[in-house]
Structure 1
Amino acid sequence: MKYLVVIEKGPRSWGAHVPDLPGCIAAAKSRSEVVKSIKEAIEFHIKDLRRAGAKVPAPHCEAKLVTVSAA
């Protein structure tokens, strides 16, 4: 499965979250570390949902970069 991951750079660290998996988040000092961490978080999150007998949400979010002119 492929899930959309939102990656954000903060003042001192990087963060990531998965819109299709509420509560699935990661933080790290570098972009590469946060990508690795969010992959692990997704796997753990899905395993935990399955263990609990909960439905694993299918990926449905998409992303699109758009260009806008400043008003």
Structure 2
Amino acid sequence: MSNYVILIERAPDGYGAWCPDLPGCVALGDTIEETISEMQDAMRCHLELMREDGLPIPAPNTVAATMTAVDVAAA
């Protein structure tokens, strides 16, 4: 089973998150942990509303990887 990727960014007043595979599904929090928890709730609600509206649930397609600054500088 695949997992949905969420991306978390620092904002001036906390953190923001979104899921590339679920356009419009976003969450905010004061900490990373809070943001992840809020995003779980947002995704649950988003998918529930999609089901209620009879919309197809998109399969998770996004893949994430991280690189260090050293990796990028060496490229």
TM-score by length of 1: 0.91
Deviation for aligned residue 1:65: 1.4
Letter in 2 for 1:26: A
Match for 1:3: what amino acid?
Y
Q: Which runs of 4+ in 1 moved over 6 A?
A: none
Give the alignment's Cα RMSD to 1 decimal: 1.6
Count of residue correspondences: 71
Q: Could you say which structure has the higher helix fraction?
A: 2
Identity within the alignment, %: 35
Residue matched to 1:42: 43
* TM norm structure 2: 0.87
Structure 1 position 68 matched with structure 2 position 72: yes
After superposition, give the CA deviation of every residue in 1:10-40 in whole Å (9 maximum; x if it has no partner). 1221000000000000001111110000001
| 1:2-17 equivalences in 2 (<5 Å) | 2-17=3-18
Q: Give unpaired runs (5+ residues) of structure 2.
A: none
- For 1:22-69, what per-residue CA distance to the aligned partner results, in whole angstroms no more than 9, with x for missing partners? 000000111111000000111110000000000000001001113211
